[in-house]
Amino acid sequence: MIKPTLMVATVIMIAGCAGTAPIDPLAPVPTRVDPDDIATPQLRQAWAVTRTTDADEIEVPTHAAAVGDHLVFVAYPGRVEALDLQGDTQWSMQPPNALAHRPIALNGGVALASESGWLWVDATGATRARIELGAVINDVVVVPQGLVVIGDELVYLLALDSSDDLVAPWQQAFSGGRRASADPDGESVFISNADGSLSCINASTGVVRWRSTEVEVAPLRPAVGKAVYVVSQSGRVYSIRARDGKRRWAGKDVGMRVTASPVVVDGLVWVPGMDAAAHAFTAAAGSHQFRVPGNGRIYLDLAIWGPWVIVSPQYGPWVILEGPRNRTGPANPGNPTVLNIASSDDIPVPPGVGAVGVVVIDAAGTVRLLTPQRGAGESP
């Protein structure tokens, strides 16, 4: 049993909006959203945590954070910490080896992968279960059944049984899997492969439903909505039918390359371009709707939380985008909403997304929890 130990954190509580100054030349940003005007209020910075060593040196997390229902799990060199929704440290523990993948929130606790296999740490910081499986982990997808893990030569389902033991209900030989996403129901997992193909597997059994070569896909995470949206090796966005892997449309070439995974929300497919901008295409037909310039090359994966698209630029603050709610078509596309999150340059890891909000980490080691902006009359 690995004993949890308490840690001391520097926590900054911020009651207002995360930031109000837009990135020029974007439109002004409201500091508050009327709860009657928008279903999901804009995000605010709830707290920020910075760690320092005994020698007063700032520590920088090594992976994206895992966001659970009540805890946020952050990996530092040699340890993993759990913070509650007020930013207070609940426990800290040392994994047996260096992590091979980011932490994954699972059943109130966290699943950790290292060279010696997986372990599950519960909400109190106690290590409850271990299992030895393939050491190479390229991606992990959360589904209702557990975690679908993608390796170089193996795909498997990792789950907790009724006794809270880690088990692998199925394992399948699968060569070349790189990045993956599940459909909204968690029934199918779509995998981009090293050979440029796209695969669909049954999340409950691991059986391959189809393997498509309609598009030579880049090894990026697909976006999944009513269809599957991928980026080709030439940097163009494509839509693929989820039922059989056939191509639906090819996005217009707008003179930029895509080097990070797309996301889809509210009928728009968002991608980061090499032209220092985020682009949006219509999910139905692939028409180019928006180009939102940033102040640095956007190169990490995008993430979605509610209607918001969280974008991490190489330089400068995080950017939060939302497509217009009154868009009526190409003749009236509306305008996206933009919000800045103050941070240091060179964002090192993608966002961590969960039911309670989004966790972003900057190169200065600051961990921030973004939660919905509260409505009028509510406490901050």
Determine, yes or no, domain membership for 226: yes
Give residue 239's pLDDT. Answer: 97
Tell me the C-alpha to C-alpha distance, in Å, between residue 266 and each of 5, 213, 258, 364, 372: 43, 28, 21, 33, 18
Tell me the C-alpha to C-alpha distance, in Å, between residue 143 and each of 10, 69, 252, 375: 34, 16, 32, 32
Listed residue (248, 269, 159, 266) closest to 198, CA to CA: 248
Q: Which residues pair with 50 in a beta bridge?
A: 10
Give one DSSP letter per residue of 172-217, joined into a string: EE--SEEEEEE-TTSSEEEEEETTS-EEEEETTT--EEEEE-SS-B
pLDDT tens-digit map of 255-298: 788 878 999 998 999 998 888 788 899 999 999 888 887 666 66
The parent domain of residue 141 ranges over 10-372
In which band, very low, low, confident or very high, does the pLDDT at 19 lie, cut at 50, 70 and 90?
Answer: very low
pLDDT at 220 exceeding the cut of 80:
yes
Listed residue (124, 102, 123, 105) closest to 113, CA to CA: 102
CA pair distance 359, 353, nearest whole angstrom: 6
- Average pLDDT for the chain: 82
Determine, yes or no, domain membership for 206: yes
Determine, yes or no, domain membership for 378: no
Q: How far is CA 69 from its chain centroid?
A: 16
Residue predicted with more confidence, 262 or 116: 262
Give residue 334's pLDDT. Answer: 57
Give residue 193's pLDDT. Answer: 97
**pLDDT-above-70 percentage for the chain:** 78
Give residue 323's pLDDT. Answer: 76
Provide the token pair at 172.
């399948």
Region 145-169: mean pLDDT is 95
pLDDT at 30 exceeding the cut of 60:
no
Give residue 106's pLDDT. Answer: 95
Listed residue (281, 282, 317, 283) closest to 298, CA to CA: 317
* pTM recorded for the entire structure: 0.84
Q: What are phi and psi of 305, to 5 degrees?
A: -145, 110
Determine, yes or no, domain membership for 377: no
Give residue 80's pLDDT. Answer: 97
Give residue 115's pLDDT. Answer: 80
pLDDT at 48 exceeding the cut of 50:
yes
Region 146-155: mean pLDDT is 94
Give residue 364's pLDDT. Answer: 85
Domain count of the chain?
1
Residue predicted with more confidence, 76 or 319: 76
Residue predicted with more confidence, 44 or 295: 44
Region 201-225: mean pLDDT is 96
In which band, very low, low, confident or very high, does the pLDDT at 5 lie, cut at 50, 70 and 90?
Answer: very low
Q: Is 55 exposed, middle or buried (0-12, 13-18, 19+ CB in 10 A)?
A: exposed
Region 132-145: mean pLDDT is 90
Of 117-121, 283-287, 341-345, the poorest mean pLDDT is in 341-345
Region 76-82: mean pLDDT is 95
pLDDT at 100 exceeding the cut of 70:
yes
Give residue 373's pLDDT. Answer: 64
Determine, yes or no, domain membership for 120: yes
In which band, very low, low, confident or very high, does the pLDDT at 15 lie, cut at 50, 70 and 90?
Answer: very low
Of 103-112, 131-140, 163-172, the poorest mean pLDDT is in 131-140
Determine, yes or no, domain membership for 40: yes
For strands 357-361 and 367-372, give the pairing: antiparallel
CA pair distance 257, 184, nearest whole angstrom: 27
CA pair distance 81, 71, nearest whole angstrom: 10
CB atoms within 10 A of CB 221: 22
Task: Compute and round to an integer the Cα radius of gyration of the chain.
Answer: 21
Region 233-244: mean pLDDT is 95
What are the b/e assignments for 285-317, b being 16+ CB within 10 Å? ebebbbebebbbebebbbbbbbbbbbbbbeebb
Give residue 161's pLDDT. Answer: 94
Listed residue (9, 84, 11, 13) closest to 379, CA to CA: 13
Determine, yes or no, domain membership for 3: no
pLDDT at 185 exceeding the cut of 80:
yes
Determine, yes or no, domain membership for 255: yes
Give residue 380's pLDDT. Answer: 32
In which band, very low, low, confident or very high, does the pLDDT at 12 lie, cut at 50, 70 and 90?
Answer: very low
The CATH code of the domain that includes 51 is 2.130.10.10
Q: What are phi and psi of 4, to 5 degrees?
A: -75, 145
Region 301-321: mean pLDDT is 79
Side by side, the strands of the sheet bearing 318-322 are 303-305, 308-311, 318-322, 337-341
